[in-house]
């Protein structure tokens, strides 16, 4: 029997047939081509398109973070700081990384003064970034950092601090959580104060902590400092005097403004009620209102001197021109205008001194409505003064062509026209500066004051100062405006308030005056809203406030006396100007 020879692997018939020579070469070429492609791609990415890969890589660890700029300081005219930024910390989180235990959550919530549910709600956000608490003190922020919680981070910010508190509140205003101006000068000069933030590149680890400061991309530019025209001493003096008057007369509100007659600078601006800009937890609209610039009122008899000046300027009247005011009232159409009591025959000077409505109207009716309107317009009534302060209003002055005779008459003694307290103070600059009217400034005037506008001749302004000195002296409506050592000139105002289209039994008491009368340095305007303790005439309510502020301010500025250096005995009974009423 023939045995078959076994076939081994080496002698497998399938191997006898040779493989085509082109196949290994093809495989080799394919493999070599792929390798070259990979090398070329790597060379392209690393040599020609590296920016993309670098950006992707850096996005894993490199961050550009903002560098806040320090907000500029606000100072008074003497360099005393009234607003400054202090460093604080803000706590923020990356919700996806903030996986906290219940115990850690309670500790963090206690430090941040948050409820645990509220904190959990913020940490459950789907956003990549959430603030947990802003403007924390460095001490509290340090305690948060010591917890070492994942996903919880800190940034440095700045919080505004106001050393002047309630005294400077309405002037300076305040900033919000993002250190941006919200009210007052903080808002008016926000662009100059806030500066420009910078940026820097840093490397962070996977937990978000900065491990290396790489470079500064753009340095921050701190904000500019702003020097106000206000004087802290005079501001506090005005604040104290106004607050005392509000309490004494149980008034609803009040306001004071003090002007430098030489430069037009606003040396003090005070309102009541006020607020503390360092603690704004419970503020109301009444507290925030800057009444000096935003509240209008009918100025009453403080408008009479302008009619007297118009009368003198026209040449139709002189200070000693006689006006018969008997029997103390006069009819215009079906309306009757009256004085508080009959004065008989008065000179122009005595009309201002006694605050006679009848005498003032008799002068006013010698002029066309357009003449009165033109004077009021030149004095700045009816339009904002463009002080750059947020919310400033211009009052109300109707076109002359719409005036009826009774309206022209009542405007002569401050009814039917409305103005702000700062407008009244500025208009009295024309008497203080020999007929010239300056623009006002809330910031310090470093150079020569701007050129003013002439409203009255120097002779007319000086004659009116003499009349106003009589009005503020014995026999006038405001002897309580007198101060020891200085001659004072000014005018009272007492006007009924308009409510619901009718005049209510409520009053606005005011006084606008200047001193020293021989060479005025200051103009002070005072307004007390709704005094309710038994007195409401401007001479009894507002004039004493003026006297206290003016006396202290003149001493603070070192102004030389021009009057008797003996205490003045003020009469217990004062002449009262007739309140302006809507229904006659």
Structure tokens at 414: 């401050």
| 464 phi and psi angles, rounded to 5 deg | -70, -35
CA 144 to CA 134: how far, in whole Å? 13
Helix (H, G, I), strand (E, B) or coil at 418: strand
Find, among 454, 472, 461, the residue nearest to 312 by Cα.
461
CA 312 to CA 458: how far, in whole Å? 11
CA distances from 196 to 75, 218, 366 (A): 21, 10, 60
Find, among 242, 174, 185, the residue nearest to 388 by Cα.
185
**Who's near 2: CB < 8 A, 6+ residues apart?**
none
What spatial distance separates the first Cα and last Cα of the chain, rounded to whole Å? 156
CA distances from 541 to 152, 244, 509 (A): 59, 11, 7
Chain centre distance of CA 397 = 25
| 304 phi and psi angles, rounded to 5 deg | -60, -40
Q: What angle do CA 279, 280, 286 make, to 5 degrees?
A: 130
CA 51 to CA 47: how far, in whole Å? 9
CA 387 to CA 83: how far, in whole Å? 20
User: Catalytic site residue 301?
Assistant: yes
Residue 510 host element (H or E): strand 502-515
Burial code (b: 16+ CB inside 10 Å, e: under 16) for 326-345 equals: eebebebeeeebbbbeebee
Structure tokens at 465: 């100062």
Strand order in the sheet with 198-204: 62-67, 198-204, 210-218
Chain centre distance of CA 493 = 27
CA distances from 286 to 208, 274, 295, 503 (A): 46, 8, 11, 22
The packing angle between helices 405-412 and 369-378, to 10°, is 40
In the chain, what are the domains? Answer: 60-99+158-228 (3.90.1310.10), 232-277+289-557 (3.40.710.10)
- pLDDT score, position 431: 97
Find, among 417, 418, 422, 414, the residue nearest to 386 by Cα.
422
* Candidate list 35, 240, 284, 301, residue with the active-site label: 301
- pLDDT score, position 122: 83
pLDDT in tens, 508-554: 999 999 999 999 999 999 999 999 988 999 999 999 999 999 999 99
Residue with tokens 């104290």: 240
CA atoms within 13 A on the CB side of 211: 8
Find, among 79, 443, 526, 518, the residue nearest to 267 by Cα.
443
CA distances from 374 to 371, 377, 397, 500 (A): 5, 5, 11, 30
**Who's near 411: CB < 8 A, 6+ residues apart?**
303, 364, 372, 376, 403, 417
Walk along the chain (584 residues) and give the pLDDT tens digit of each residue: 555 566 555 566 655 556 677 777 788 888 888 888 888 877 776 776 666 666 666 655 566 666 677 889 999 999 999 999 888 888 888 777 777 888 888 888 888 888 888 888 888 877 767 888 887 888 888 888 888 888 888 877 788 899 999 999 999 999 887 778 888 999 999 999 988 877 776 666 555 555 555 566 777 788 899 999 999 999 999 999 999 999 999 999 999 999 999 999 999 999 999 999 988 777 777 788 889 999 999 999 999 999 999 999 999 999 999 999 999 999 998 899 999 889 999 999 999 999 999 999 999 999 999 999 999 999 999 999 989 898 899 999 999 999 999 999 999 999 999 999 999 999 999 999 999 999 999 999 887 777 889 999 999 999 999 999 999 999 999 999 999 999 999 999 999 887 777 888 899 999 999 999 999 999 999 999 999 988 999 999 999 999 999 999 999 999 999 887 764 544 444 445 556 554 33
CA 92 to CA 100: how far, in whole Å? 14
Neighbours of 501 (CB within 10 A): 6
Structure tokens at 128: 């990549």
Residue 460: left if φ>0, alpha if ψ -120 to 50, beta else—which one?
A: alpha
Q: Model pTM?
A: 0.81
Per-state percent for the chain, helix, strand, coil, to nearest 5: 35, 25, 40
Q: What angle do CA 443, 449, 455 make, to 5 degrees?
A: 110
């Amino acid at each position: 029997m023939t045995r078959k020879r076994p076939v081994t692997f080496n002698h497998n018939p399938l191997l006898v047939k040779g493989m085509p020579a082109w196949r290994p070469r093809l495989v080799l070429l394919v493999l070599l081509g792929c390798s070259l492609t990979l090398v070329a791609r790597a060379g392209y990415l690393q040599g020609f398109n590296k920016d993309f890969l670098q950006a992707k890589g850096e996005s894993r660890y490199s961050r550009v973070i903002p560098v806040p700029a320090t907000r500029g300081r606000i100072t008074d005219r003497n360099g005393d700081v009234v607003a400054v930024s202090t460093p604080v910390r803000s706590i923020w989180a990356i919700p996806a990384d903030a996986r906290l235990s219940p115990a850690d959550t309670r500790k963090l919530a206690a430090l941040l003064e948050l409820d645990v549910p509220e904190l959990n709600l913020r940490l459950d956000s789907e956003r990549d970034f959430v603030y947990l608490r802003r403007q924390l003190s460095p001490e509290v922020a340090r305690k948060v950092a010591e917890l070492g919680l994942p996903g919880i981070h800190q940034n440095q910010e700045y919080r505004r601090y106001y050393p002047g508190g309630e005294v400077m509140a309405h002037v300076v205003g305040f900033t919000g959580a993002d250190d941006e101006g919200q009210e007052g000068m903080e808002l008016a000069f926000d662009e100059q104060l806030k500066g420009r933030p910078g940026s820097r590149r840093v490397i962070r680890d996977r937990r978000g902590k900065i491990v290396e400061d790489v470079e500064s991309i753009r340095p921050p530019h701190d904000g500019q400092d702003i020097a106000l025209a206000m004087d802290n001493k005079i501001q506090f003096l005005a604040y104290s005097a106004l607050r005392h008057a509000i309490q004494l007369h149980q008034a609803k509100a009040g306001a004071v403004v003090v002007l430098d007659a030489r430069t037009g600078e606003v040396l003090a601006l005070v309102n009541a009620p006020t607020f503390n800009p360092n603690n704004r937890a419970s503020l109301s609209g009444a507290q925030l209102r800057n009444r000096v610039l935003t509240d209008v009122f009918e100025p009453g008899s403080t408008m009479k001197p302008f009619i007297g000046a118009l009368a003198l300027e026209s040449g139709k009247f002189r200070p000693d021109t006689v006006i018969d005011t008997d029997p103390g009232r006069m009819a215009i159409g079906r309306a009757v205008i009256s004085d508080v009591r009959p004065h008989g025959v008065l000179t122009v000077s005595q009309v201002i001194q006694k605050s006679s409505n009848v005498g003032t109207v008799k002068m006013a009716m010698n002029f066309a409505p357009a003449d009165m309107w033109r004077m009021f317009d030149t004095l700045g009534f009816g339009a904002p003064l463009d002080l750059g302060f947020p919310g400033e209003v211009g009052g109300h002055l109707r076109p002359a062509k719409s005036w009826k005779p009774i309206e022209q008459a009542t405007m002569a003694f401050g009814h039917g026209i409305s103005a702000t307290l700062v407008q009244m103070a500025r208009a009295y600059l024309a008497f203080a500066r020999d007929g010239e009217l300056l623009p006002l400034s809330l910031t310090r005037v470093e150079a020569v004051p701007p050129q003013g506008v002439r409203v009255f001749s120097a002779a007319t302004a000086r004659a009116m100062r003499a009349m106003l000195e009589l009005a503020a002296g014995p026999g006038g409506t405001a002897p309580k405006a007198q101060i020891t050592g200085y001659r004072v000139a000014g005018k009272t105002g007492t006007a009924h308030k308009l409510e619901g289209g009718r005049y209510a039994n409520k009053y606005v008491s005011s006084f606008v005056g200047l001193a020293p009368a021989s060479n005025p340095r200051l103009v002070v305007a005072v307004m007390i809203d709704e005094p309710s303790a038994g007195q409401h005439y401007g001479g009894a309510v507002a004039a004493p406030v003026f006297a206290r502020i003016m006396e202290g301010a003149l001493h603070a500025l070192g102004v030389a006396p021009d009057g008797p250096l003996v205490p003045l005995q003020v009469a217990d009974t004062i002449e009262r100007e007739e309140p302006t009423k809507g229904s006659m």
